């Protein structure tokens, strides 16, 4: 870990063919004139001219790390974290823009909860800024995570500073020592679900997460990763299985398939009726493609069961949460079956 803690905050942005998103994102950061932070952009082998654009317009304002190939959200962020120096690290999507006083509000929130380790921000829908995108994650009993409050109207309920499960990968803040103590983001995941796994792993190590509603930013949901697709189904489901194997108590691992089947019953209704995330998928893809993605996800998840089980054994040796503590945490921050079945 390269960081020295000489800066308050390192902002790490992973980019893959997102040149059209970079200007608004970076300008919203730099316009705040905060000198106690660094901005690191990790380019995942883009072919749309992103590196040349960044060198031409932001050469002295950011650190650009160019990777030869696409290493995903996990690999790209790990490279950025390794090169960062801040006491805290903000992992930021390239499809967001910050509120005008974001960093000031972030500092104020962290100062109120300095021992938490993780911080979730208020992420609003970019196109309708009265609608919640994410205020921290909630989780279903089979490891499926969703944004707390997603698609609901913003209001007093989401104005309270409180503990939540873990941050969204779109804009999550982590104390540097988390990566030093629990390790990097899991490179096996590549994309989707790594933020949940990292948050649960940090929780297992004794860290908490606080939601800071005054630190506001705006998210063009799926502008960087693409809309709901068979590819997204594949990564979400494969990685969810790995998270359960790595971190859940053994009896929840055993009942996880039952909970998943219950979720699929609701999802199938959505696929047929056109309701929810799977309903959206049906607009552009066939049911066969969706089912094929699920089959591949489970096949590939099973191929690495032994790898994930070895990781599980290592993590449980250092866990500060008992199985009972972990279950109580899941219950406290649980998501309903309709929420995870119909929201993308």
> For residue 289, what pLDDT is reported?
84
Evaluate if residue 2 carries a pLDDT over 60: no
> For residue 123, what pLDDT is reported?
98
In terms of pTM, does the model score above 0.75? yes
Radius of gyration of the chain (CA): 19
Phi, psi of 120 (to 5 degrees): -100, 140
What is the residue-averaged pLDDT of the chain? 92
CA dihedral over 239, 240, 245, 246, signed as positive or negative: positive
Q: How far is CA 194 from the centre of its chain?
A: 6
pLDDT in tens, 211-264: 999 999 999 976 555 557 889 989 999 999 999 999 999 999 999 999 999 988
Q: Please give the share of the chain, as a percent, with pLDDT higher than 70.
A: 91
Evaluate if residue 101 carries a pLDDT over 80: yes
CA dihedral over 23, 24, 26, 31, signed as positive or negative: positive
Residue with tokens 């971190």: 247
| pLDDT interval class at 299 (50, 70, 90) | very high
CATH topology of domain 8-219: Spore Coat Polysaccharide Biosynthesis Protein SpsA; Chain A (3.90.550)
> For residue 325, what pLDDT is reported?
97
pLDDT in tens, 144-169: 999 999 999 999 999 999 999 999 99
Q: Which residue has the higher pLDDT, 267 or 247?
A: 247
Helix-then-strand count for the chain, H and E: 13, 12
| pLDDT interval class at 274 (50, 70, 90) | low
Evaluate if residue 3 carries a pLDDT over 60: no
Evaluate if residue 67 carries a pLDDT over 70: yes
The structure tokens listed for 266 are 């609701």
CA-CA distances (angstroms) from residue 66 to 21, 51, 92, 295? Answer: 17, 7, 17, 34
Question: How many other β-carbons are positioned within 10 Å of the β-carbon of residue 170?
Answer: 23
Domain coordinates in residue numbering, the chain:
8-219, 230-342
Q: Please give the share of the chain, as a percent, with pLDDT higher than 90.
A: 82
Task: State whether residue 216 is helix, strand or coil.
Answer: strand
| pLDDT interval class at 272 (50, 70, 90) | low
> For residue 6, what pLDDT is reported?
77
Q: Are 337 and 262 in contact (CB under 8 A)?
A: yes
| pLDDT interval class at 275 (50, 70, 90) | low
Q: Which residues of 47-71 are buried (b: 16+ CB within 10 A; e: fewer)?
A: eeebbebbeeebeeebbbbebeebb
CA-CA distances (angstroms) from residue 86 to 8, 10, 36, 53, 99? Answer: 5, 5, 9, 25, 21
């Amino acid at each position: 870990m390269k960081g020295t803690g000489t800066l308050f905050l390192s902002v790490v942005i992973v980019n893959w063919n997102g040149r059209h998103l970079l200007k608004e994102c970076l300008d919203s950061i730099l316009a705040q004139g905060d000198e106690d932070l660094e901005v690191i952009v990790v380019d995942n082998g883009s072919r749309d001219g992103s590196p040349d654009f960044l060198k031409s317009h932001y050469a002295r304002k950011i650190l650009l790390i160019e990777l030869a190939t696409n290493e995903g959200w996990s690999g790209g962020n790990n490279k950025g974290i390794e090169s960062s120096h801040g006491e805290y690290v903000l992992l930021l999507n390239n499809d967001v823009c910050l509120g005008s006083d974001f960093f000031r509000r972030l500092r104020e929130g962290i100062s109120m909860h300095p021992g938490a380790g993780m911080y979730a921000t208020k992420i609003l829908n970019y196109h309708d800024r009265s609608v919640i995108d994410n205020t921290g994650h909630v989780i279903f009993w089979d490891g499926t995570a969703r944004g707390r409050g997603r698609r609901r109207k913003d209001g007093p309920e989401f104005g309270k500073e409180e503990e939540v499960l873990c941050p969204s990968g779109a804009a999550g803040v982590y104390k540097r020592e988390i990566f030093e103590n629990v390790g990097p983001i899991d490179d096996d995941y590549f994309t989707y679900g790594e933020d949940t796994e990292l948050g649960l792993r940090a929780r297992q190590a004794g860290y908490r997460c606080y939601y800071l509603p005054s630190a506001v930013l705006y998210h063009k949901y799926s502008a960087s990763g693409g809309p709901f697709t068979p590819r997204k189904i594949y990564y979400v489901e494969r990685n969810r299985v790995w998270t359960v194997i790595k971190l859940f108590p053994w009896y929840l691992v055993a009942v996880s398939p039952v909970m998943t089947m219950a979720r699929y019953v609701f999802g199938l209704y959505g696929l047929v009726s056109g309701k929810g995330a799977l309903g959206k998928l049906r607009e552009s893809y066939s049911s066969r493609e969706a089912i094929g993605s699920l089959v591949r996800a489970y096949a590939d998840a099973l191929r690495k069961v032994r790898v994930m089980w070895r990781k599980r054994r290592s993590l449980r040796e250092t866990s500060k949460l008992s199985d009972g503590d972990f279950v109580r945490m899941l219950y406290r921050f649980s998501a309903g079956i309709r929420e995870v079945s119909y929201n993308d």
